[in-house]
Amino acid sequence: MKASPAEKYLTEERGLTDATIERHHLGYVEDPFPGHEMYHGCLAIPYLTPDGSVTSIRFRRLDGEGSKYLTVAGDMTRLYNTAALTLPYSKVCVTEGEIDAMTAQQCGLPAVGVPGANSWQPVWHLLFKQYDTVFVLIDDDKAGHEFGQAVARSLDTARIVPMTGGDVNSFVLEHGPQALKGKINGRGLPGDGENT
């Protein structure tokens, strides 16, 4: 992926570090398999199990044409970054999208991502029963607020945290990691001296 359009997009436009890119095994589709030509030039976002196995790959177009995100036909909706659910915390963050989950994780917050505002699955509440608080970091738009309400209907422990003026990634780019932590600090910040 070095020197690819995906690397420039992730580091320059999205502010992700090389360590974050490597940790999430992000890639760039330079030479697609036969039948996968539609993914040429896309960022490849693998969905990994906690042991590192790939269960799915989602693709993000970088050319601005057509649908922003592409998924292989027949693939099921999954949570992104489920390894965060194995960390020894009593609190976790849920974001709308993979890049936002990576950004929150890069800021030191355990986070999983839902692949789109309308993708929350009520059955996922079972994965969050272990947490005292689930911070739902929502985009500052109608779809984001609806996403937050959908999660809150499933989880009694959900605490909605709107991102002023955009999404998690744009908020951190503009205000920095400490400002993101400050958004939820009054509600008990994951990782601030706690490991319960």
- The pLDDT score that the predictor gives to residue 106 is 97
Confidence of residue 109 (pLDDT cuts 50, 70, 90): very high
Confidence of residue 1 (pLDDT cuts 50, 70, 90): confident
Q: Which is nearest to 45 in space by CA: 89, 14, 12, 66?
A: 14
Confidence check: pLDDT of 195 > 80: no
What percentage of the chain carries pLDDT values higher than 90? 87
Confidence check: pLDDT of 55 > 60: yes
Confidence of residue 188 (pLDDT cuts 50, 70, 90): very low
Q: What's the rounded Cα separation, in Å, for the pair 195 and 111?
A: 15
Confidence of residue 123 (pLDDT cuts 50, 70, 90): very high
pLDDT average, residue stretch 108-127: 96
